[in-house]
Chains A and B, each alone.
Chain A
Amino acid sequence: EVQLVQSGAEVKKPGESLKISCKGSGYSFTNYWIGWVRQMPGKGLEWMGIIYPGDSDTRYSPSFQGQVTISADKSISTAYLQWSSLKASDTAMYYCVRHSCGSTGCYVAYWGQGTLVIVSS
């Protein structure tokens, strides 16, 4: 069974740095794209970016390029989402997602439980 287990909720101040994690299990971690989706309070889903742990190929949505860093440590089957300087507007639920690939291409197939990030002074 594919499982994505995310790190716990965080409360941070503006300007602070943060790295949240997502541990994958039940599948070969290096062979599937894994990434992140943001959901701001009361709003919709926003695809942020993904990484292929096998070769660290990383893709970002234009909206998030330069704003966050996605990385992975395949030795411990864990993906990360990182900020160097948080803003209040980063307050949101962040979902770890794993893509699957079918006959025509890949899609978001599995979701973690979510990590709530609150940024407030």
Chain B
Amino acid sequence: QSALTQPPSVSGSPGQSVTISCTGSSSDVGSYNRVSWYQQPPGTAPKLMIYEVNNRPSGVPDRFSGSKSGNTASLTISGLQAEDEADYYCSSYTSSSTWVFGGGTKLTVL
């Protein structure tokens, strides 16, 4: 199975919004509402930010939101803050009963 496709990098200024895309196929993103997103600041373990496309775990700010259309899922971060600077990864369940991650996107807050 191939990794999901994410842009290598995105950037935005404090207060702005950014959107990170995650493109898969009909064997994963397109067939299941089991897309999740993770934040990984440098040197730390990843943290769950969004699950089941658009649900936030408790403690995750509502500035983070998720959506999906067809084979592409998206993570939107509004009201960017310096602390949001990190790598972001999407993940999806697959038709092989396994999971797959995206290649990761580095978010830079200008």
Contacts and interface: CB of A to CB of B under 8 A. Distances in A.
Contacts of A37: 101
A62 B101 contact: no
A44 interface: yes
Nearest to B50: A107
Interface of B: 1, 3, 32-34, 36, 38, 40, 45-48, 51-52, 55, 57, 87, 89, 91, 93, 96-104
B52 A104 contact: yes
Grouping DSSP codes into helix (H, G, I), strand (E, B) and loop, the A interface class, with mixed when no group exceeds half, is strand
**Interface size class for chain A?**
20 to 34
27 contacts: A37-B101, A44-B101, A45-B38, A45-B40, A46-B3, A47-B100, A49-B98, A50-B99, A59-B97, A61-B1, A62-B96, A95-B46, A104-B32, A105-B34, A105-B52, A106-B34, A107-B34, A107-B51, A107-B91, A107-B93, A108-B38, A108-B99, A109-B48, A110-B48, A111-B45, A111-B48, A113-B45
B89 to A, nearest CB: 5
Nearest to A62: B1
Contacts of B32: 104-105
A12 to B, nearest CB: 22
Contacts of A111: 45-48
Nearest to A103: B52
A95 B45 contact: yes
Nearest to A100: B51
A8 B64 CA distance: 33
A47 B36 contact: no
A34 to B, nearest CB: 13
Contacts of B87: 44
A47 B51 contact: no
B45 A108 contact: no
